[in-house]
């Protein structure tokens, strides 16, 4: 997600046991009401807005059906992902990411000191993507991240770009529903994404693991951006931590649905009214698993802070302002260079 973003360094962790709460399931929300009505007309979608608000407040995680993304396109990108990862390691490494851009292929190192058990291909939504050259707060120079295109399968880049367009459309719809659930104007968040957004698509492959009790597909983490939209296959593995019970809940895949989770930016914008949920991915010894998360990130110049409409004397701001571009580059650099330190998190900007 929702599964892990460039720059996330996880704390040491053994794979915890799953505590099953049979009665607890993340909300499943039908988006068909917005297929016939404008999102900006809250009176026609009042029930949907209420559902979204409740899911964001109680879980930060939900699934959506009737989302409008063409099934044929989703099938094409899922097929392409399997074909790409089915190549030899030598072929995949020909489009490997570098220290100059997060786009491209990389695999985790399967050693006793690394718990993530997967391989990845990342593709930027905007090519080029503008980001700060350095993390120095006084250095305002910019650089460009560019995409590495997979030569196989044929025409895969075209499929990826078409799919990203659909992910952006769905992301904007969801952000409008979230805005309305907070009592804001539907387009309140649009300004942060309309120009030079830093979003990207990820293809994940989790091979069968010989010792699944010793590894995780992705360790426990929270996503740093605004939203994550996840497509996953029929193999279970994604788990979210229930906020009230502090227990891990397995997400059961629903055919053709998308899993949505809020990121840290929404938590800051809402001044903790909505929280970014902690989640992880488990692996097994027999089945491989594929997933495709889309990370909806704002433009690099975005100043992330609680929205003025949501703070007052009784509910003062809980976060200092931070520059999204500097934050993003810091996390990528730390991850790529494998620094043995914890990465920057939104709690570093807490005021109290």
pLDDT at res. 212: 75
pLDDT at res. 211: 78
Q: List strands edge to edge, sheet with 200-206.
A: 28-30, 61-65, 258-262, 227-232, 289-296, 200-206, 119-124, 104-107
CA distance 198 to 169: 15
Q: Which two tokens stand for residue 129?
A: 């993507």
CA distance 350 to 352: 6
CA distance 238 to 129: 29
C-alpha dihedral sign at 307, 308, 310, 312 = positive
CA distance 283 to 294: 21
91 located within any domain: no
Nearest to 259, CA basis, from 23, 9, 1, 78: 1
Count up the domains in the chain and report the number: 1
263 located within any domain: yes
Q: Which two tokens stand for residue 280?
A: 């992880």
Burial class of 159 by CB neighbour count within 10 A (0 to 12, 13 to 18, 19+): middle
pLDDT at res. 37: 66
232 located within any domain: yes
Question: Could you identify the residue written with the tokens 């559902």?
Answer: 51
128 located within any domain: yes
215 located within any domain: yes
Q: Which two tokens stand for residue 46?
A: 């009042």
Question: Could you identify the residue written with the tokens 């030899």?
Answer: 88
224 located within any domain: yes
CB-based contact 109:150 (threshold 8 Å): no
305 located within any domain: yes
State the chain's maximal CA–CA distance in angstroms.
59
pLDDT at res. 38: 66
Do the bridges between strand 200-206 and strand 238-241 make them parallel or antiparallel, or are there none, so unpaired?
Answer: unpaired
Other residues' Cβ atoms within 10 Å of the Cβ of residue 332: 22
Q: Domain span at residue 58?
A: 28-86+111-133+151-332+339-349
Length of the chain: 352
CA distance 24 to 74: 28
142 located within any domain: no
CATH number at residue 241: 2.60.120.330
pLDDT < 50: residue spans in the chain: 1-16, 18-23, 110-114, 339-340
C-alpha dihedral sign at 280, 283, 287, 290 = positive
CA distance 235 to 57: 28
pLDDT at res. 246: 81
Q: What percent of the chain has pLDDT over 90?
A: 72
Q: Which two tokens stand for residue 191?
A: 């300004």
Per residue in 224-265, pLDDT tens? 999 999 999 999 999 999 877 788 999 998 999 999 999 999
CB-based contact 4:294 (threshold 8 Å): no
Nearest to 326, CA basis, from 307, 298, 288: 298
SS3 at position 291: strand
Q: What's the whole-model pTM score?
A: 0.91
pLDDT at res. 22: 42
Nearest to 63, CA basis, from 174, 194, 142, 139: 174
């Amino acid at each position: 997600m929702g599964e892990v973003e460039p720059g996330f360094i996880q704390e040491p962790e053994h794979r915890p046991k799953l505590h099953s709460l049979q009665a607890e399931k993340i909300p499943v929300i039908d988006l068909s009401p917005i297929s016939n009505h404008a999102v900006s007309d809250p009176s026609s979608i009042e029930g949907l807005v209420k559902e979204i608000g409740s899911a964001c407040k109680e879980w930060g995680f939900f699934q959506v059906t009737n989302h409008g993304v063409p099934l044929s396109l989703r099938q094409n990108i899922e097929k392409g992902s399997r074909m790409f990862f089915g190549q030899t390691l030598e072929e995949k490494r020909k489009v490997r990411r570098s220290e100059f851009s997060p786009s491209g292929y990389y695999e985790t190192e399967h050693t006793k000191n690394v718990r993530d058990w997967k391989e990845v291909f990342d593709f930027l939504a905007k090519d080029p993507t503008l980001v700060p050259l350095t993390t120095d707060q006084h250095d305002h120079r910019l650089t460009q991240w560019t995409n590495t295109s997979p030569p196989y399968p044929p025409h895969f880049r075209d499929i990826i770009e078409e799919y990203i367009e659909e992910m952006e459309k769905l992301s904007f719809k969801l952000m409008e529903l979230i805005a309305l659930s907070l009592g804001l104007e539907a387009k309140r968040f649009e300004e942060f994404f309309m120009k030079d957004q830093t979003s990207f698509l990820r293809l994940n492959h989790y091979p069968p693991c010989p010792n699944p009790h010793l590894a995780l597909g992705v360790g426990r983490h929270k996503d740093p951006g605004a939203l994550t939209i996840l497509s996953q296959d029929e193999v279970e593995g994604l788990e979210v931590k229930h906020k009230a019970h502090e227990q891990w809940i397995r997400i059961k895949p629903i055919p053709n649905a998308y899993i949505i989770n809020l990121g840290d930016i929404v938590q800051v914008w809402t001044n903790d009214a909505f929280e970014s949920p902690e989640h992880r991915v488990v692996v097994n010894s027999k089945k491989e698993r594929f997933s495709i998360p889309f990370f909806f990130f704002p433009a690099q110049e975005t100043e992330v802070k609680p929205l003025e409409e949501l703070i007052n004397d009784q509910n003062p701001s809980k976060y200092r302002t931070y520059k999204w571009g500097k934050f993003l580059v810091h996390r990528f650099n730390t991850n790529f260079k494998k620094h043995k330190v914890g990465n920057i998190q939104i709690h570093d900007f807490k005021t109290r």
